[in-house]
């Protein structure tokens, strides 16, 4: 979807202290061969800090940097891939109270690791449909340090990290213009992410922890028995949605200075994002994500904040934000940096 008047006016990320993967190996948490293959040197770990508190901290910083007043916001869209607090509770309104404290709609976008990028697309629709207020606040946060997740072994694609990010999206100016944003899914791959899990009762309600790697192994075992796994390739979705979004933005891939991707381990990152996009790791943000791990929906905007604060992009540069989630679905946004954001 090509956009004419959509901007980022402020972004912020909150990433806690990291735990080195070498230490995780010494403590028996991580297999040394997995560490070596992953290329990940450290993972952000928040301890007992609740995810919504991380989100509120990031939100406050993004709002300050944007220079926007609370009464200018039309909505808050909050995302998380893991549990945020008590069952039946509303973390998005907690973040809203802490960050803005205004009586606007606050929605939770349950789109897994795509939550914040999907929220950017939803914000574009909201701001186009309702001219009353010019801004929407996006937040995302996770703390995976619960008994229901083993961050070191839950998936062979990544090591799970904690953190938060926030972005102020406006239709009347900012430090980056959003030229286009769009999503593409392959619902036939839904079964691949489900594996052999039952739908009811939901496994977590009977004390079964998250184990994405076991679901992948289920399909390896099925294939060995002659049962074909669901067909689909996430890398093909990445290439397709990137090509479409670039065309809508009127930007060639050669003009994109940096690509902000999610924090996959080295092999899956190369296969799913770098090779399909035709770029090397230096043009992505591997030097950042290999030191943080995969922080769910936080990655695209924490990666953008990293590029901004280290001065690796400047006015006139084009930046691609791209991520993926179970479904399978990919969302891509193409930005043009137009100036500096605030630093408060």
What is the torsion angle, in degrees rounded to the nearest 10, for the CA atoms of residue 238, residue 240, residue 245 and residue 246?
A: 100
Report the range of poorest mean pLDDT among 149-153, 199-203, 339-343.
339-343
Q: Are 343 and 64 in contact (CB under 8 A)?
A: no
Residue 327: which pLDDT band, with cuts at 50, 70 and 90?
confident
CA angle 277–282–288, rounded 5-degree value: 105
What is the DSSP annotation of 9-65?
EEEEEE---EEEHHHHHHTTSS-HHHHHHH---EEE--TT--HHHHHHHHHHHHHHH
**Contact call for residues 289 and 262 (beta carbons, < 8 A):** yes
Please, which pLDDT band fits residue 15 given cuts at 50, 70 and 90?
Answer: very high
- Stretch 217-225: mean pLDDT, rounded? 79
Q: Measure the CA–CA gap between 157 and 268, rounded to whole angstroms.
A: 6
Confidence of residue 196 (pLDDT cuts 50, 70, 90): confident
Please state the pTM of the whole predicted model. Answer: 0.94
Phi, psi for 108 (deg, rounded to 5): -100, 125
For residues 238 and 182, give the distance between their C-alpha atoms in angstroms, rounded to a whole number: 11
Average confidence (pLDDT) over 252-267: 97
pLDDT mean over 270-288: 97
pLDDT score, position 11: 98
3-state secondary structure of 183: strand
Average pLDDT over residues 175-188: 95
Q: How would residue 215 be classed by pLDDT, with cut points 50, 70 and 90?
A: confident
Residue 30: CB atoms within 10 Å = 23
φ, ψ for residue 122, nearest 5 deg: -65, -35
Which domains, ranges and CATH numbers included, belong to the chain? 7-174 (3.40.47.10), 187-224 (no CATH)
Q: Render pLDDT for 122-142 as a digit per residue (tens, 0 to 9).
A: 999 999 998 889 999 999 999
Phi-psi region of 267 (alpha: psi -120 to 50; beta: other; left: phi over 0): alpha
Query: What's residue 220's pLDDT?
Result: 79
pLDDT in tens, 26-41: 999 999 999 999 999 9
| Least reliable range by pLDDT among 183-187, 213-217, 265-269, 304-308 | 213-217
- Is 82 strand, coil or helix? coil
Is the model's pLDDT at 101 over the cut of 80? yes
- Residue 343 is predicted with a pLDDT of 63
- Tell whether the model's pLDDT for residue 167 goes beyond 70: yes
Q: What pLDDT score does 344 carry?
A: 58
């Amino acid at each position: 979807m090509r956009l004419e008047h959509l901007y980022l006016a402020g972004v912020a990320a909150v990433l806690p202290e990291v735990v080195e993967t070498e230490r995780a190996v010494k403590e028996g948490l991580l297999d040394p061969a997995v560490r070596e293959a992953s290329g990940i040197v450290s993972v952000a770990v928040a301890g007992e800090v609740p995810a919504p508190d991380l989100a509120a901290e990031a939100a406050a910083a993004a709002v300050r940097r944007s220079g926007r007043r609370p009464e200018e916001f039309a909505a808050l869209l909050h995302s998380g891939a893991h549990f945020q607090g008590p069952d039946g509770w509303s973390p998005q309104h907690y973040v809203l109270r802490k960050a803005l404290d205004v009586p606007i709609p606050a929605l939770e976008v349950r789109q897994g690791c795509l939550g914040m990028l999907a929220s950017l697309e939803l914000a574009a629709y909201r701001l186009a449909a309702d001219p009353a207020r010019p801004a929407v606040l996006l937040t995302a946060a996770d703390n995976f340090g619960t008994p229901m997740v083993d961050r070191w072994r839950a998936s062979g694609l990544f090591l799970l990290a904690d953190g938060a990010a926030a972005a102020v999206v406006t239709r009347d100016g900012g430090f980056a213009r959003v030229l286009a944003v769009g999503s593409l899914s392959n619902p036939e791959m839904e079964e691949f992410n489900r594996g052999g899990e039952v739908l009811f009762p939901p496994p977590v309600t009977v004390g079964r922890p998250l184990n994405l790697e076991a679901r992948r192994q289920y399909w390896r075992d099925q294939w060995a028995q002659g049962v074909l796994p669901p067909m689909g390739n996430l890398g093909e979705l990445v290439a397709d949605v990137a090509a479409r979004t670039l065309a809508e933005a009127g930007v060639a891939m050669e003009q994109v200075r940096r690509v902000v991707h999610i924090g996959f381990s080295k092999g899956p990152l190369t296969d799913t994002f770098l090779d399909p996009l035709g770029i090397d790791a230096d043009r992505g943000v591997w030097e950042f994500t290999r030191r943080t791990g995969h922080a769910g929906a936080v990655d695209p905007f924490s990666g953008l904040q990293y590029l901004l604060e280290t001065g690796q992009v400047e006015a006139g540069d084009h930046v691609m934000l791209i991520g993926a989630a179970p479904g399978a679905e990919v969302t891509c946004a193409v930005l043009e940096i137009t100036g500096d954001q605030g630093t408060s």
